[in-house]
Amino acid sequence: MRTTDGIRTTNGIDHLMLDRLVTNRLLWFITAVLALVASSWGVLSPAIYANVVATNLQPGALAQDIISVLAAVTLLVLSSRQRSVRIKDQIVAIGLLGYLFYGYGIYVIERAYNGLYLVYLAIFALAFWSLVVAGASLRREILARTSLQGATRVVSASGAILQPAIFYPLWIGMLLPLMSSGEQIDSLYSVFILDLCFIMPAFLVLGVMAYRNRSLGLMLLPAMFILGFTLIFSLAIAELVKPLFGDRVEIGPLAMSLALSLLFLVLGVVHLARLRVGVVTVDRRPSALKA
């Protein structure tokens, strides 16, 4: 129903969440193309990781590339479709950019100096700056009309805040012995950097904002759940592809990865389904005729 100020409440199907949508979509497209090239290469030729990734981590590299192929294809579709990109599609795109930032951040920080390293650097940088541009392009009038019903909002915010509540103590507990001994580990130190400096603060800030019914948290929290789902689901795939590398599947880690990725998926889908966004429309009728 249309109101007298030209605002109608929709289910988020309009395309007005971001200003400079053409610029945003161009950045998504370039990032997705590079990610598709790099990840497809990794899937088709896992040997590129032979000298730069520890043997026990190579299943994880293959799994990450499989997810990155799917993420890149989805991002390509969202960036190149002819009709306007819906608000909720834009939220999905932001979540996938976050995943690519994290995934290729691992390769960059872990110094995966193979023939694709410069491509990894480009994807890492493009994903980061695409997120910055998207954040700077958010329309305040749309944010001001974003809402989520109470029960869903509390559950969603609680699920987000749970992540730093778990992983901050876990990762810091693993870092303290290293700090005490001065030992420098050879791999996966990137996870500490990315999680403690970027991902957990984002979950915490957006979770608290959503709990307090702040529009920015309500709008962007699903993107974090998409990021979380893709990251954790890649760990489940890593377990499943272990036999290709002469190792056996461990049921415990597989079950935990599937459970956590399912949690992220459910939270993200429910949040997006129930998110309501006020959309600015142009109403040229005389005010006396508006309903």
Chain centroid offset of residue 263 CA: 15
Point out the residues of the chain with pLDDT beneath 70.
1-16, 82-85, 278-291
List, in order, residues 6 or more apart from 286 with CB less than 8 Å away: none
pLDDT of residue 80: 87
Q: Which amino acid is at 136?
A: A
pLDDT of residue 82: 60
Return the SS3 of 145.
coil
Q: Which single residue is written with the structure tokens 């990781």?
A: 49
List, in order, residues 6 or more apart from 263 with CB less than 8 Å away: 159
Domain assignment present for residue 149? The answer is: yes
106 near 194, Cβ under 8 Å? yes
Instruction: Work out whether the CA dihedral 153, 157, 160, 166 comes out positive or negative.
Output: negative
Instruction: Work out whether the CA dihedral 243, 64, 227, 72 comes out positive or negative.
Output: negative
Domain assignment present for residue 207? The answer is: yes
H helices within the chain, ranges in order?
A: 21-44, 58-80, 87-109, 117-137, 140-143, 150-181, 189-194, 200-211, 215-240, 251-274
Q: Which amino acid is at 176?
A: L
Q: Which amino acid is at 272?
A: L
Domain assignment present for residue 2? The answer is: no
Domain count for the chain: 1
Domain assignment present for residue 1? The answer is: no
Residue 263 CB neighbours (<10 A): 17
Instruction: Give the pTM.
Output: 0.90
pLDDT of residue 287: 41
Domain assignment present for residue 165? The answer is: yes
Strands 7-10 and 276-280, sheet pairing: antiparallel
Instruction: Work out whether the CA dihedral 172, 178, 182, 187 comes out positive or negative.
Output: negative
Domain assignment present for residue 108? The answer is: yes
pLDDT of residue 35: 98
Domain assignment present for residue 50? The answer is: yes
pLDDT of residue 20: 85
- DSSP assigned state of 11: B
Instruction: Work out whether the CA dihedral 70, 119, 235, 164 comes out positive or negative.
Output: negative
d(CA 2, CA 245) in angstroms, rounded, equals 60
pLDDT of residue 18: 86
pLDDT of residue 11: 47
pLDDT of residue 17: 84
pLDDT of residue 95: 98
pLDDT of residue 286: 45
pLDDT of residue 290: 40
143: containing domain: 7-289
142 near 8, Cβ under 8 Å? no
